[in-house]
Amino acid sequence: MTAQLTHTYKRWSRLFVPALVLQLIAWWLGIFWVGTDKDQGDVYRIIFVHVPVAWCAFMWIILAAGFAVFGFVKKKSFEEMDRSAHAAINLGTVFSALALATGSIWGRPTWGVWWDWDPRLTSTLVMFLVCCAYHVLRSFTPDIQSRRNSGQIVAILAAVNVPIVYFSVNIWRSLHQPQTFVRRGGSASSDIGLVLFANLIAMILLTLVLYKMRRTAIAAQESLEAAREGR
């Protein structure tokens, strides 16, 4: 079993460099190919990182919740779905943190502050903290079945925050700009939209490789734990 998992990990790890190169090309287009924004200048280029990481955070947190729900419904697949949810929430946590960091980098020259208790930022922080709670709960729950049950519940709770974060700029008065690239009549030019889409696709592919590697590592770790405990 461990040998098979090692082979799977190596197979996916070989795709990491091509996926990373694709992402670097997409970033290069965002930095050097598209023009300067007439309102924000060059500072707007952070969107080519910020928007894809935020969307990837949403995607992996929702997928983690989906895996969790499927695991509860299909009891025979519960263990496999728990591993999938665990790997997905790992990525959701990392990309939520990156969304907060890149948002702050954009906010400093735009708003004049690194942080403001804006509804979008605050709800994103809550989403990130719920993801962190998932890892804390799993780390301090010794029984593996209880660990899986509690982890799946928190994964579902984390996904509840996704629509709150997304619609926060429309529900409450916010410093954050509305959804420029999805709303009808958005102000972004076609070349910016195209490069942003390229960055989003590149980042999704990169995170898919990372997900497969992380999930395989989790499966290998649990197999070793089971072997040590004689399960």
User: Which pLDDT does position 209 carry in this prediction?
Assistant: 96
pTM above 0.75, yes or no: yes
Q: Tell me the average pLDDT across 171-194.
A: 61
Q: Which letter, b or e, does each residue of 152-189 get, where b requires 16 or more Cβ atoms within 10 Å of its Cβ?
A: bebbbbbbebbebbbebbeeeebebeeeeeeeeeeeee
Region 221-228 average pLDDT: 71
DSSP 3-state of 1: coil
Query: Per the structure, how many domains does the chain have?
Result: 1
- Which range in 32-41, 78-87, 214-223 is most confidently predicted, on average pLDDT? 78-87
Q: Is residue 43 within 8 Å of residue 75, measured between CB atoms?
A: no
Concatenating the DSSP letter of every residue in 129-190 gives: HHHHHHHHHHHT--SHHHHHHHHHHHHHHHHHHHHHHHHHHHHS--SS---TTTSTT----H
Exposure class string for 32-52: b at 16+ Cβ within 10 A, else e: eebeebeeeeeebbbbbbbbb
pLDDT confidence tier of residue 179, bands split at 50, 70 and 90: low
Average pLDDT, the chain: 84
Give the pLDDT band of residue 185 (cuts 50, 70, 90): very low
pLDDT of residue 214 exceeding 80:
yes
Query: Contact, 218 vs 87, CB < 8 A?
Result: yes
104: domain range? Answer: 2-229
